[in-house]
Amino acid sequence: MAASHSDAVLTQWHRLGRWMLRGFDRLVDEEAIANLRALDREHSLVFLISHRSYLDEWAFPSALTELGVRAPFGFAGANLNFFPLGTIARRTGIVHIRRTTSDAPVYKLALRRFMRQLVADRANMIWSIEGGRSRTGKLRPPRLGLLRYVADAVDMQEGSSDVLLVPVSLLYDQLPAHEAELMTAEARGQGKTPEDLSWFVGYLRGLRDRLGRIYIDIGEPIELGTRLHQLRDESAESTAIERVAVEVSHNINTATPITPTAAVCIALLAADRALTLDEVIRTVAPLANYLAARNWPTAGAANLTDRSTVRRALQDLDRSAVLTSFQGDTTVWSIEPSQHLVAAIYRNSAIHALVERAILEVALQALSEQSDSSVIDCALGLRDMLKFEFFFAGRDKFVESLQRELEILPGADGAKLATLDSDTASAALASADLLLAPLVLRPFIEAYAVVASQLVDLGDASEIDESWFIERCLVRSRQWALQRRNLSEESTSTEMFRTAIKLARRRGLFYSPAGDLAQRRHDFDEEVRLVRERIGRLGERVLGAPSDGSVVCQPVDANITYLNKLGRE
């Protein structure tokens, strides 16, 4: 943990970083960082980043020092602490720490004291709030260990300058191809490739391609001491750190823009076939209109329906072999058969902006089917099911967000969620030119369905090895994808299974002294099945290949099922 800042080493480190990032243009929120310069004098700034790539260590810290913010002490995984990288990194302020410390009390004590000293010295710090790289494209659940140590230091030094938590969104148009391949391989259950010098040399060799831009945006900072005091007055102290971490993650998502790459992948994943440039633009147009209605930022202020912008995104994805193109009477693009998970990673980088709308659609579908159903209760139930996947606002603010989403739908006619009837719900869905639930929620619900069915098969058995269980889920998910019970292998992901397992554990579905496991597992399976069927019926409103090539929402003959339509070719 004996890290330091050597000016000579930092100069060479940043030079290496510029060489590694030569395939990217870096767009930094310079105004936000300039505002942090004044706070830098009186606060210990703790930068909590979304961890997308190994390149993060070179992409963001150098931007801070270039814009006049003191160099931070960084905390990274011990997997990168190999010679000579670890030795050099310590002289740039990076500390490589163990992923788990539960069996090392002396190590935990040393780390706690080290961070306490950094806070006392008003040093800046940086680490990933997720604890590791995202392997699905969306923000992962926060890790609390380091944040607890900083909070303890703030509590012990009451009256001193506060720590300011600074959420940071890092987003790449594309990841290096070999890194994306490793992520998808790990998601499919393959072991993690160990990092060493030969791995690092190979990684450097793979950084030759032009991959677009890196977007660095700053979220709303949080004064840790003040916020902890507020939360401890409101609820139990034990939950305060968790709530702060969720707020940080929510602020990261709020600062994360939508990239043209994400928009293109949304269009091609939705179409599930080759599209021309004009078809891609027509497919993206309803999404662009929706984001404009939400005032959601696009990366680099890009116009998502601009021909040159969309063409560049398609060509970049083609060069990196995520897409394949065919030159006939005109050029068409489609997703490479083995690259759906990579395309999903880029799609999921935008999913935080779409999930509330998707949940509302499922709730409206429920009301359109059952007049006695409650949109709010259905939405809150789905929010509870997906609470380990996405970062939601509190219940009241979540309902307020759903009301704003309803007001965007042209067929809602100023309706209120609390008094919505089935006819208005049906009209709102029928009038929508964009339905997101089949694309946004389907992969996650399909993964949850695999876990739920696997639990049902176990009956009342309560001693379950999680590694074995995940392996069985991978096998079943691959089978279902081949049978088209799942629409693709996108949901064949250990990351998704682990989140579903976390929900099942929270609901007591892995162990129960009451002896009713089989029944409660069956009830959970039914709950997931019902949501899945509603998403399927929403999918029936989506014509996969209308005559103009766009993916819009239109009623279709009731006897054409969602699975048959998507498998028609």
pLDDT tens-digit map of 496-521: 999 999 999 999 998 877 778 999 99
| Average pLDDT of the chain to the nearest whole number | 88
CB 32 within 8 A of CB 217: yes
| pLDDT score at 161 | 59
- Sign for the CA dihedral angle at 553, 322, 388, 134 comes to negative
Q: What is the pLDDT of residue 334?
A: 95
pLDDT at 204: 92
What pLDDT is recorded for position 75? 94
Residues in contact with 12: Cβ distance below 8 Å, sequence separation at least 6, in sequence order = none
Structure confidence at residue 561 (pLDDT)? 38
Given a cut of 60, whether residue 70 has pLDDT beyond it is: yes
Percent with pLDDT over 90 in the chain: 65
Q: In this structure, what DSSP letter does residue 464 have? A: -
pLDDT value of position 80: 87
Q: What confidence tens digit (pLDDT) does each residue in 327-340 have?
A: 999 999 999 988 88
Rounded distance between C-alpha atoms, residue 89 and residue 481, angstroms: 44
CA distances to 59, 126, 230 from 240, in Å: 31, 21, 9
pLDDT tens string 313-365: 999 999 999 999 999 999 999 999 888 889 999 999 999 999 999 999 999 99
Band the pLDDT of 9: cuts 50, 70, 90.
very high
Mean pLDDT of 95-120: 89
Which residue type sits at 72? P
pTM for the structure as a whole: 0.88
Percent helix, strand and coil across the chain, each to the nearest 5: 55, 10, 35
CB 264 within 8 A of CB 279: no
Scan for tokens 């011990």, then name that residue.
Answer: 78
Structural tokens at position 300:
């680099």
pLDDT at 538: 93
- Rounded to whole angstroms, the Cα distance separating 540 from 554 reads 9
Confidence of residue 136 (pLDDT cuts 50, 70, 90): confident
Residue 98 clears pLDDT 90, i.e. is over it: no
Q: What is the pLDDT of residues 145-194, one digit of tens each?
A: 899 999 999 988 765 558 999 999 999 999 998 888 888 887 777 777 78
**Look-up: residue for tokens 């293109």?**
264
More confident residue, 258 or 540: 258
Alpha helices in 121-239 (DSSP H): 145-156, 177-187, 197-205, 224-234
What is the predicted pLDDT for the residue at 310? 96
- Which pLDDT band, with edges at 50, 70 and 90, does 547 fall under? very low
What is the predicted pLDDT for the residue at 551? 40
- What's the rounded Cα separation, in Å, for the pair 418 and 50? 36
How far is 343 from 316, CA to CA, in rounded Å? 13
| Residue 552 predicted with pLDDT over 60 | no
User: 545 pLDDT exceeds 50?
Assistant: no
Q: What pLDDT score was predicted for residue 237?
A: 61
Reported confidence tier of residue 550, pLDDT bands at 50, 70, 90: very low
Helix spans in 48-131 (H)? 56-59, 61-66, 85-90, 105-120
Q: Residue 560: what pLDDT?
A: 33
Q: How far apart are CA 145 and CA 101, in angstroms?
A: 9
Burial of 321 by CB count in 10 Å (0-12 exposed, 13-18 middle, 19+ buried)? middle
Residue 562 CA to residue 163 CA, distance in Å, equals 52
pLDDT tops 50 at residue 548: no
From residue 287, alpha-carbon distances to 50, 291, 353 in Å are 24, 6, 11
Flag whether pLDDT at 558 surpasses 80.
no
Q: What is the mean pLDDT of residues 548-564?
A: 36
